[in-house]
Amino acid sequence: QRDIKEKTIRVLHSLSFVEDPTRVFRAIRFEKRFGFKIGKQTLSLIKNAVKLNFLSRIRGKRIWSELALILKEEAPEAILARLEELDLLRFISPDIVFNKEKEKLFGQMHAVYQWHEFLYQGKSVDKVQFYILAIVDNMKLPDVAKFAAGMEISERFRKRAVENVEHLRLTMARFSQGAAGIKKSEIYRMLDSLSREAMLFIMARTRSDEVKKAISGYITHHNVYKPFTTGEDLKRLGVPEGPLYKEILEKVKEAKIDLDLKTKEAESHFLEAYLVERGILT
């Protein structure tokens, strides 16, 4: 009761962090969530646990659980800044960099997350998958793999995580000069293969208003650009079945996006002209 009244976090006994070093992460999480302060003696015990490397005994899975809880908080950057201040981030990963620039990125991500939550309530964003992209942002791909392995994430998810980060970085590189010179269909093709979390991360990280607009446009309108044309239409026109169907339907989708084909009739005109041009129809 006294601790709550004084808004202070204190441990019950001096061996608390020795018995369970993950309590350090929880203490800091609660400190920032409730606007409390960690008591002087408790802070001294945390610093001692850091000095004696008690936290290096924690298994990767438990570290990952604590990190996930931090990233789900309302202001994870405040917790991460405090962990950095107390030299605790190295126990999560020595490759994590958390500085003023990264803190600012988290703030921008929070704003983008709020925008998305407000406008697209039916499509939720996984906060852990979203904010983890900022955590690994400064890491080279082999270090991302090492980080995932250290967290004892399954090999299948580890491989997928590295592939996702690689794809994200390729997309960011393509957007590095803005979006003005890129065809709308190419933008949509790039974004089609990204997770919603990755798209929002690019929106938060980029300084280009063109890129922000392109991504928000995709999120808002991508369902509008689903072609009316199907494989059945191609069959009716006498197009031989096979891998060619996928290529043709992709071309129709590109045209729908770039030429703004709004009706089934407009699509059909384009399709027939394209099939004649390709020599598929005479």
Do 198 and 254 fall into the same domain?
A: no
Q: Report the alpha-carbon distance of residue 139 to residue 128 in Å, rounded.
A: 17
Do 67 and 180 fall into the same domain?
A: no
- CB-based contact 147:67 (threshold 8 Å): no
pLDDT tens-place string over residues 223-263: 888 999 999 999 999 999 999 999 999 999 999 999 999 99
Domain count, the chain: 3
1 has pLDDT over 60: no
Please give the residue range of the domain that contains residue 138. 93-221
> In this structure, is residue 282 part of a structural domain?
no
- Could you tell me the maximum CA-CA distance found in the chain, to the nearest angstrom? 87
- CB-based contact 24:56 (threshold 8 Å): no
Do 9 and 51 fall into the same domain?
A: yes
- Closest to 182 measured CA to CA, from 190, 193, 207: 190
pLDDT tens-place string over residues 119-159: 886 778 999 999 999 999 999 999 999 999 999 988 888 88
Predicted confidence band at 7 (pLDDT cuts at 50, 70, 90)? confident
pLDDT tens-place string over residues 92-107: 999 999 999 999 999 9
Do 148 and 60 fall into the same domain?
A: no
Q: Full-prediction pTM beyond 0.75?
A: yes
Predicted confidence band at 115 (pLDDT cuts at 50, 70, 90)? very high
* Main-chain phi, psi angles of 269, to 5 degrees: -60, -45
The two tokens of residue 133 are: 């992209």
* CATH number of 4's domain: 1.10.110.30
Over the Cα atoms of the chain, what is R_g?
Answer: 25
Contacts of 161 (CB under 8 A, 6+ apart): 144, 148, 153
Token pair 């129809």 is found at 281
282 has pLDDT over 90: no
Q: Tell me how far the alpha carbon of residue 162 is from its chain's centroid.
A: 12
